[in-house]
Amino acid sequence: MKKFGFLLLLSFIFSNCGKELVTITDLPYTTQFEIPVGLNPFTIWELPIYNIPNERLARLNAANVSEDEVERIVGKTGRFSTIFSGVMLDFIQEITIEIFSDNIDDATEILHREQVAENTGEVIGLNASLPDVSRHLEGETFGIIVTIRPRRSATQNIPVQLDFTLGVL
């Protein structure tokens, strides 16, 4: 009987692997910034980006979703890419995106990618972190922190774009 329960638990766990998060609606955002040349590969580089327009209420209204229907908001998808073609992101070993409202010390992780492949091209797909970030989206603006652990220095300043989607559950 114990073996049957264990097999049932494993089948439940693996049946949900790889499935996309089902949400009421999505809140897409885009921001652009520049990675400077000469990042030290022995340190972690953090770039805070402030004053990203929230637009939560307008997007919920456009999707015909009321505030009462929102249980939580979580990171869903993310894409980190170079703006100009031919520039590779292979110098990045790990990347994390956190969201904050007023207090930068109270940030919550929404996206991450660990052990980025050395042959990475112009795009890095980001994995969702699923904590509730609703409290960070109550004001008119919010901020994000892009944390990069480089495997080596960038050889030039690199303009990049971060496209991310928050899912409303």
Please, is 7 exposed, middle or buried when counting C-beta atoms within 10 Å of its C-beta (0-12, 13-18, 19+)?
exposed
Question: Which tens digits make up the pLDDT trace of 103-146?
Answer: 999 999 999 999 999 999 999 999 999 999 999 999 999 999 99
- Total domain count, the chain: 1
CATH number at residue 96: 2.60.120
Q: Taking the model in full, what pTM does it have?
A: 0.86
Residue whose entry in the numeric block shows the structure tokens 């400077």? 36
How confident is the chain (169 residues) per 10-residue block, as mean pLDDT? 50 51 92 92 94 94 94 97 94 97 96 95 96 96 97 92 97
Task: Report the C-alpha gap between 157 and 146 in whole angstroms.
Answer: 16
What's the pLDDT at 5? Answer: 53
Task: Report the C-alpha gap between 22 and 61 in whole angstroms.
Answer: 19
Q: Please check whether residue 39 is in contact with residue 154, taking contact to mean a CB–CB distance below 8 angstroms.
A: yes
DSSP 8-state assignment for residue 68: G
Residue 119 lies in a domain: yes
Residue 18 DSSP SS3: coil
Residue whose entry in the numeric block shows the structure tokens 């110098």? 91
Domain with 69 in it: 22-168
Between CA 27 and CA 166, with CA 54 as vertex, the angle to 5 degrees is 25
Residue 2 lies in a domain: no
Residue 140 lies in a domain: yes
Task: Report the C-alpha gap between 153 and 38 in whole angstroms.
Answer: 5
Task: Report the C-alpha gap between 27 and 164 in whole angstroms.
Answer: 8
Task: Report the C-alpha gap between 166 and 77 in whole angstroms.
Answer: 7
Residue 14 lies in a domain: no
Residue 1 lies in a domain: no
